[in-house]
Amino acid sequence: MSYVNPDPDPDRTTGLEAGGGVPPGETPPAESSMPEAGPYELSHNPAKGWAKGPLTAILLLVAFIAAFFLVYAIILLL
Protein backbone atom coordinates (compact mmCIF):
# COMPACT_ATOMS: atom_id res chain seq x y z
CA MET A 1 0.00 0.00 0.00
CA SER A 2 1.17 3.48 -0.69
CA TYR A 3 0.89 6.19 1.91
CA VAL A 4 -1.45 9.08 1.18
CA ASN A 5 -0.96 12.28 3.15
CA PRO A 6 -4.34 13.10 4.77
CA ASP A 7 -3.53 16.82 4.84
CA PRO A 8 -4.29 18.31 1.42
CA ASP A 9 -1.76 20.74 -0.04
CA PRO A 10 -3.39 24.22 -0.14
CA ASP A 11 -1.35 25.12 -3.25
CA ARG A 12 -2.75 22.19 -5.27
CA THR A 13 -6.23 21.83 -3.76
CA THR A 14 -8.93 24.25 -4.79
CA GLY A 15 -10.99 25.90 -2.08
CA LEU A 16 -8.35 25.81 0.66
CA GLU A 17 -6.69 28.79 2.26
CA ALA A 18 -3.01 28.95 3.14
CA GLY A 19 -3.56 27.56 6.64
CA GLY A 20 -5.61 24.65 5.35
CA GLY A 21 -8.96 26.16 6.31
CA VAL A 22 -11.98 26.39 4.06
CA PRO A 23 -13.30 29.85 3.20
CA PRO A 24 -17.02 30.59 3.68
CA GLY A 25 -19.15 29.17 0.90
CA GLU A 26 -16.63 26.49 -0.13
CA THR A 27 -17.10 22.78 0.36
CA PRO A 28 -14.27 21.02 2.22
CA PRO A 29 -12.54 18.06 0.55
CA ALA A 30 -14.60 14.89 0.75
CA GLU A 31 -13.55 12.09 3.01
CA SER A 32 -12.96 9.93 -0.05
CA SER A 33 -9.87 12.04 -0.66
CA MET A 34 -8.31 10.21 2.29
CA PRO A 35 -8.46 6.54 1.25
CA GLU A 36 -6.39 5.29 4.20
CA ALA A 37 -8.42 7.02 6.90
CA GLY A 38 -9.36 3.76 8.65
CA PRO A 39 -8.67 0.03 8.66
CA TYR A 40 -10.05 -2.29 6.04
CA GLU A 41 -13.07 -3.71 7.87
CA LEU A 42 -13.06 -7.28 6.56
CA SER A 43 -9.41 -7.96 7.33
CA HIS A 44 -9.41 -6.49 10.85
CA ASN A 45 -12.86 -7.53 12.08
CA PRO A 46 -14.06 -10.67 10.33
CA ALA A 47 -17.54 -11.86 11.26
CA LYS A 48 -17.11 -15.54 12.14
CA GLY A 49 -19.51 -15.96 15.04
CA TRP A 50 -18.93 -18.07 18.13
CA ALA A 51 -16.45 -20.92 18.03
CA LYS A 52 -17.69 -24.35 19.13
CA GLY A 53 -15.29 -24.69 22.08
CA PRO A 54 -16.13 -21.49 24.02
CA LEU A 55 -19.85 -21.87 23.33
CA THR A 56 -19.81 -25.47 24.64
CA ALA A 57 -17.88 -24.41 27.76
CA ILE A 58 -20.37 -21.62 28.51
CA LEU A 59 -23.36 -23.93 28.03
CA LEU A 60 -21.81 -26.59 30.31
CA LEU A 61 -21.15 -23.97 33.00
CA VAL A 62 -24.74 -22.69 32.81
CA ALA A 63 -26.10 -26.27 32.99
CA PHE A 64 -23.88 -27.04 36.02
CA ILE A 65 -25.02 -23.91 37.88
CA ALA A 66 -28.69 -24.62 37.06
CA ALA A 67 -28.34 -28.22 38.29
CA PHE A 68 -26.66 -27.02 41.50
CA PHE A 69 -29.51 -24.65 42.33
CA LEU A 70 -32.12 -27.27 41.42
CA VAL A 71 -30.54 -29.81 43.80
CA TYR A 72 -30.18 -27.11 46.47
CA ALA A 73 -33.89 -26.23 46.17
CA ILE A 74 -34.90 -29.92 46.42
CA ILE A 75 -32.76 -30.38 49.55
CA LEU A 76 -34.37 -27.33 51.18
CA LEU A 77 -37.87 -28.73 50.53
CA LEU A 78 -37.08 -32.06 52.21
3-state SS track over 32-54: HHCCCCCCCHHHHCCCCCCCHHH
Half-sphere CA count of 65, side-chain side, radius 13 A: 6
Same domain, 2 and 40: yes
**CA angle, 23 then 25 then 27, to 5°:** 80
Same domain, 22 and 60: no
Same domain, 28 and 54: no
When divided into structural domains, the chain yields a total of: 2
% pLDDT > 70, the chain: 45
pLDDT in tens, 7-31: 666 666 666 666 767 777 676 656 5
Q: Where are the alpha helices (DSSP H) in the chain?
A: 41-44, 52-77
Same domain, 11 and 29: yes
Report CA torsion sign: 52, 54, 57, 63.
negative
* pLDDT for residue 6: 65
Global pTM reads 0.40
